[in-house]
Structure formats: C-alpha cells, structure tokens
Structure 1
Amino acid sequence: MLDFIYYPVSFILWCWHKVFGFVLGDNNAISWILAIMFLTFTVRGIMFKPFVKQVRSMKKMQEFAPELKKIQKKYANDRQRQAAEMQKLQREHGVNPLGSCLPMLLQIPVFIGLNWVLRAFSIPPKDGGPKTNNYFFDQAGVDSYVNAKLFGVNIGDAIHHTSMLGGVDSGWNWHVAPVAIPLMILASVLTHLTARHSTARQDPSAATPQTAMMQKLTMYIFPLGVLVFGAFFPIGLLVYWLSNNGWTLMQQRLVYNKIDKEEEKKKAEAKEKRDALAPKPGAKPKPGQKPVQQRTAGESDQVAAQNTSSNGKSDTKAGSPHRFAQQPARPQNGASKQRKKPGSGGKSSGQKGSGQKRR
C-alpha cells in the first residue's frame, strides 16, 4: 500500500550500499551502516531549503509574537475571532505556520519507509521459500543484509520485535542490548541537544503557552521516548535516528550563524545610512531657521540695491533671509549715497572732488 514510499527509500539505500560495498565488501556491516547514514544525509540535503525557510518563518513569528499575545488577550472569549485575527496577522507578515512543520513532516515517511524496508529483509515470503528480493534489492542483496553482523548482532535485530512495527518472532533479544543501548543513549542525547539549541534561539518574552509546551516536549519527552521506544527499533533504524539528529544539530548551527551574520550586516548598513543622513557636527541648523532659497543673479542685485538704498548697507542681521546670499558688487560713480563728513559744509568728499576737477 505504501510502495510509493518504500521503493524510493529502498533505491537510495541500494545506491549507497553499492558505493560502500564496492570499497568495503557487500557483506560488511559497516557498508550497510554507512549506506543508512548517507541515505539520511541525502534526504536531509533535499530538505535543506525547506529547513532554512522554517528557521526564517520562526524568526518572523518571534518578531510579531507580542501582537499575537494582544490578540489572544483581546479575544480570549471568542476562539473563532481569535483564530481569524491571528491568521490575518500571519498573512500580513508573510508567515505560513505550516511551513515551519514541513521538514519534520517530510521525515515521517522516510522513517516509516526505512523501518519497513529494513524489517522486510528478514520477513520470509508467504510461500515459505527463500526470500529472493526486497524492493530494489535482489536475492544477493537480501543475503548480504541478513549475513552482515555488527559485534555479532545483525543490524536488522532489535531488543524486542513487535508485530505492531512490522517485526516477526516477537520476544526479547537481550543479546542485542549491548549494541542497541549505547545507540539509544546517543540518539536520546543528540535529540535533547538539538531541541535545547533551537530553544535557546527563541525570545522567552515572546513565548506563548503553546510554544512553552512544545519546548518541553521536544527537550524532554521526545528524548525520553527515543530512549524507551528505541528497544523496539532495529539497529539500522537506531543508526538512522542517530545520524539524523547529528545532521540536524550541525545544520542548525550553520544556518543560525548565517542568519545572525545577515542580521548584523543589515543593522550595520542601516546605521551607516542614518549616519550619512544626519547633520554633521557644527552644521546643525538653529531652531526656527529657514533654509536659504536660491535666487537668480538679477534678483540678488535688485534686492541688494533696495537694501543698500534704504539702510546704507546690506542687511546682515541674524535671521535675515539674505544672510548667506552672495554680496553683490558695490555700485560705482555715486550709485549709492555717501555719508556726509562733519565740517564739510554739507558737501561730500565725492562732490568736493568733482568741483576741484572742474576748476
């Protein structure tokens, strides 16, 4: 029924097993473990861009989280109106809540597919004969997997096989515990560290009751679940869980550091822009001072002549609109009135000089 999941997972596993089997040998358990790990890395590499979008979406949601709290408080008694207003706010900020869950949702089919493919190696056919194939694997591939052992334990074995997860021969297999338990502990620790690293990025003041609950689930309940239910997973599936969480932790560090550098760069550019637009020291305009209006040469000469004829000099008082205008050249040949000198008999020096010249 889920062959559309099983065949792609089986194909990727088959490709990587061929690569490492060529180097280390087809029946080597390390070849199978590396094939499972690189199956995980291939799937996570495909989901890298959705993961980056998830991080950016979560970052935007933190920025307008106070507005969400206001809406929740305002419409606490009207759940339908509250949901509508929250969706409206998310659309305005260009955030899709489902986008942040996409990478996690895409991992579920891979987990289910790999669990079934690994268990199917050991499930005998209905006719009771030898198993001749397992999706993309032929009989040689099936025999290689069944005969591959890690520290004497087949990588398809689990501490407890249960038919609920597709296992056969239900019962406890304590000889698997020395290999499975260390993998369970490492997977649980990496799950906790990954959740803690993600939670440390979030603003506590913007947390809501729902987000606080999710943080507790991811930091404590999920790691505990890996530690408990890992007893029902085969060795190969524990390797997948371990490599998946290791990849997630490394990816989070790289993506978060990149986003932090981008935000610091934007803040530095915004600061430089503000500094460039701000007035320089010593050039700050006085309160109430109007900007100087540019005048043509003819207008400047006309205004200067009027001021000179009325006041005897250009108006240079503070606050004059012509204070910073260029001073026109002083007119010659008696164009402006000269002040009379005391004792000159009412004649200016200019008049005296002209009379002497006529004599």
Structure 2
Amino acid sequence: MLNFIYYPVSAILWVWHKVFGFILGPDNGIAWALSVVFLVFTLRAVLYKPFVKQVRTTRQMQELQPQIKALQKKYSGDRQRQAVEMQKLQKEHGFNPIMGCLPVLAQAPVFIGLFHVLRSFNRTGTGMGQLGMSAEDNLNTPNYVFSATDVQSFLDARLFGAPISAAITTPVAQLQAYVTENVPELPSRLNIILVAAPLMIIASIATHFNSRASVARQSEAAAANPQSAIMNKLALYVFPLGVLVGGPFLPIAILLYWVSNNIWTYGQQHLVFRKIDAEEEAKKQEAITRRNDNAPKPGARPDPSKKKGSPAALKTADSADDDGDAPEVSLKKPQPKPSGSGGGSTSKPKQNRPQSNRGNSPKRNKRR
C-alpha cells in the first residue's frame, strides 16, 4: 500500500550501501550503518531550504502575535470573521503555516519507510506485519530494490557483534534468521544491548538538547502562552524519555537513524539561526546608518532643501526643470522707494493716526 514510500527509501539505502560496501566490503556492519546514516543526511539535505523557511515562518509568526491577538480579541464572538481576517493578515505578510510543518511532515514517511524496509530483511517473525517465512525462504527473497544477495549480505553484517536490524526485545526465533553459512553463530543478546543502549542514551540526550535550543529561540510572549508551555515541557522531558522507553523495541538501525538525525538537526539549527541573526543584524545596522545619514550634524541647521514643500526646495526644483534659464524670483518684501528730489533724503511714511471724535465729546455738548 505504501510502496511509493518503501521503494524510494530502499533505493537511497541501496545506493549508499554500494558506495560504502565498495570501500569496506558488502558484508561489513559499518558499511550498512553508514548507509543508514547517509540516508538521513540525504533527506535532511533535501529538506534544508524548507527548514530555513520553517525558521523564518516561526520568526514571522512571533512578530505577528500582537496583531493576531488583536484580531482574536476584536472578533472573539465571530469565529468565521476571525478566520477570514487571519487569512487576510497571513496573505498580506506572505505567511504560510504549512511551510512551517513541511520538514516534520516529510520526515515521518521516511521514518516509517525505513522501519518497514529494515523489518523486511527478516520476515521470519509471526507478529503484526510479519510474513512468518522460514529462514531459508527469507534468505532467498528480495527486499524491494535489494536482491536476495543483498539480503544475505545484510543478515551477515554485524555492528560490534550485533545485527543492525535486531532490537533488544527481538525474540530468539527471529534471531535464528541471522544464522547463515557465513555467520553460523546466534547473535548474543548482550551484544545487542551493548550496541543499542548507548545509542538510546545518545538519542535521548540529543533530543533534549535540540528541544532546548528551539525553546531558547522563542519570544517571551510565545513562551508565556499556556499551550506553548505545555509543548515545551513535552519536548524537553517527555520526548527524550520516550526514546529511552521505546528504544528496546526499535532496531539498532532505527536508533542510528535517530542519533544521526538529531546530530544533523543540532548542527543545522545553529548554522541557520546564526545566518538569520546575521541578516537581521545587517538590516538593523543598515536602517541605523540610513537614519544617521539623513540626520543633521550636531550644531548644524537642518537643510531646508530636504524638506518637502519648502521655498528653497521649490526653487531648486524649478531651476532644475528650466536648466537655469528661468529668472530668479526674490522672496523678499519690496523696500519703499525714496521720495523728493534733493539731498537724497528719504521721507518717513505717513502714519495713519486715529482721529479723535472731538465733535461728539459729551463734555463739549454739555457746555453748549
């Protein structure tokens, strides 16, 4: 049913096994382990750009929180109108919530596909999803793009004495499938524990530190959100504990997947966060430089030509349009011309004094 996932995953694993098998030998356990690790690296390299988009989307979501809260408060009684306004706000700022989930959603099918392909190397079990084959039939049955020869190579491979598709809780009946002509000994449960237990601990610690780095990048408003606080607690403590609890039921190769995925995530987070922080700091410095360039120097008067609508600005614009041919227009008030012929003396302008209303004085009327 999910062959569209199983075949691509097995094909990538097959390619990397051919590369490392050519160097170390096809039956080498380290070659198979490196094939799993580089399967993870291949996937994460493809998802690098979506991861950067996810980080930018998260930053943008934090910046839009005040506006989102305002819309939620304004349309608290109208859910439909609130959803419409939210979509408008997201469209206006180019915000796409789906892009923030893409890296996580894309890794889930790969995890499922790898788990199924690894289990399909040993189909002797009778549990859920198992075919109950005999050891001989299993050895001669291809596994998706892997031939029967590749299946035998996988069953012969040992990583420090443990088959990489075996788990701590694998029944003894299934461990019999790893007994072949090349490796006639039954895998030791102790060897499986000695390989799987350190991987479980490393995966748990790496999960905690990755979650810790993500939580540290949250804004104060986002961290104060009750739902975010619950998710942070789950990511910091419950998920790492889940690796320790579920680890004994997972094949060694899946634990390798988990460890390598967390190592890649830790390095990628710091690289991307540093890059985005540098970009934001450069934008801030550019804005400060632009503001300082436009600001007048201490003690200097502002340049009137930079003000819109000022006479100097209008005069500059007019002279630029006429290429300097238009006559200059003086904005000063005209001075009064001198009167009279002699001596070059100037007469003072007459001042209009208010005439006294002597004829209508009440005292004068009384005397009369």
* TM-score, length-scaled by structure 2: 0.75
**How big is the shift at 1:54?**
0.4
Which shifted more, 277-286 or 113-122? 277-286
CA deviation profile, 1:212-245 (whole Å, cap 9, x unmatched): 2222222222111111111111001100110001
CA deviation profile, 1:47-100 (whole Å, cap 9, x unmatched): 111101100000000101122233344555655554444344333322122221
Which consecutive aligned stretches of 4+ in structure 1 deviate over 3 angstroms post-superposition?
A: 70-88, 124-128, 290-300, 308-311, 336-340
- Structure 2, unaligned stretches of length 5 or more? 125-130, 176-187, 305-309, 320-325, 347-368
Which residue identity does 1:309 align to in structure 2? K
Judged with a 3 Å threshold, the aligned counterparts in structure 2 of structure 1 residues 29 and 127 are, in CA distance, closer, same or farther, namely closer
1:201 aligns with 2:217: yes
Q: Which residue of 1 aligns with 2:362?
A: none
1:142 aligns with 2:151: yes
Q: Which residue of 1 aligns with 2:201?
A: 185
Q: Which residue of 2 aligns with 1:227?
A: 244
Judged with a 3 Å threshold, the aligned counterparts in structure 2 of structure 1 residues 26 and 70 are, in CA distance, closer, same or farther, namely same
Q: Which residue of 2 aligns with 1:345?
A: none
Percent identity, please: 52
* TM-score, length-scaled by structure 1: 0.77
Superposed, which structure 2 residues align to 1:43-62 within 5 Å?
A: 43-62=43-62
Please give the alpha-carbon distance, in whole angstroms, between the structure 1 residues aligned to 2:103 and 2:233. 20
CA deviation profile, 1:313-343 (whole Å, cap 9, x unmatched): xxxxxxxxxxxxxxxxxxxxx9x98459xxx
Which shifted more, 197-206 or 121-130? 121-130
Please give the alpha-carbon distance, in whole angstroms, between the structure 1 residues aligned to 2:303 and 2:27. 86
Q: Which residue of 2 aligns with 1:270?
A: 287
Judged with a 3 Å threshold, the aligned counterparts in structure 2 of structure 1 residues 339 and 199 are, in CA distance, closer, same or farther, namely same
1:217 aligns with 2:234: yes
Please give the alpha-carbon distance, in whole angstroms, between the structure 2 residues aligned to 1:72 and 1:177. 52
Judged with a 3 Å threshold, the aligned counterparts in structure 2 of structure 1 residues 19 and 273 are, in CA distance, closer, same or farther, namely same
Candidates 287, 309, 320, aligned match of 2:337:
309
Which shifted more, 230-239 or 220-229? 220-229
Judged with a 3 Å threshold, the aligned counterparts in structure 2 of structure 1 residues 216 and 297 are, in CA distance, closer, same or farther, namely same
Q: Is the 8 A contact 1:75 1:81 kept in 2?
A: yes
Judged with a 3 Å threshold, the aligned counterparts in structure 2 of structure 1 residues 211 and 80 are, in CA distance, closer, same or farther, namely farther
Please give the alpha-carbon distance, in whole angstroms, between the structure 2 residues aligned to 1:11 and 1:25. 19
CA deviation profile, 1:152-173 (whole Å, cap 9, x unmatched): 11111101249xxxx968xxx8
Candidates 160, 164, 167, aligned match of 1:155:
164
Please give the alpha-carbon distance, in whole angstroms, between the structure 2 residues aligned to 1:279 and 1:30. 68
Candidates 240, 257, 261, aligned match of 1:244:
261
Secondary structure of the corresponding residue to residue 335 of structure 2:
helix
Please give the alpha-carbon distance, in whole angstroms, between the structure 1 residues aligned to 2:85 and 2:206. 38
Judged with a 3 Å threshold, the aligned counterparts in structure 2 of structure 1 residues 137 and 283 are, in CA distance, closer, same or farther, namely same
Which residue identity does 1:146 align to in structure 2? L
Count of matched residue positions in the alignment of Structure 1 and Structure 2: 308
**How big is the shift at 1:276?**
1.6
Please give the alpha-carbon distance, in whole angstroms, between the structure 2 residues aligned to 1:202 and 1:291. 51
Judged with a 3 Å threshold, the aligned counterparts in structure 2 of structure 1 residues 303 and 196 are, in CA distance, closer, same or farther, namely closer
Judged with a 3 Å threshold, the aligned counterparts in structure 2 of structure 1 residues 308 and 120 are, in CA distance, closer, same or farther, namely same
Q: Which residue of 1 aligns with 2:117?
A: 117
The RMSD of aligned alpha carbons is 3.1
Q: Is the 8 A contact 1:309 1:337 kept in 2?
A: no
Judged with a 3 Å threshold, the aligned counterparts in structure 2 of structure 1 residues 219 and 297 are, in CA distance, closer, same or farther, namely same
- Structure 1, unaligned stretches of length 5 or more? 312-333, 341-359
CA deviation profile, 1:280-319 (whole Å, cap 9, x unmatched): 33333599xx65463964644x968x427369xxxxxxxx
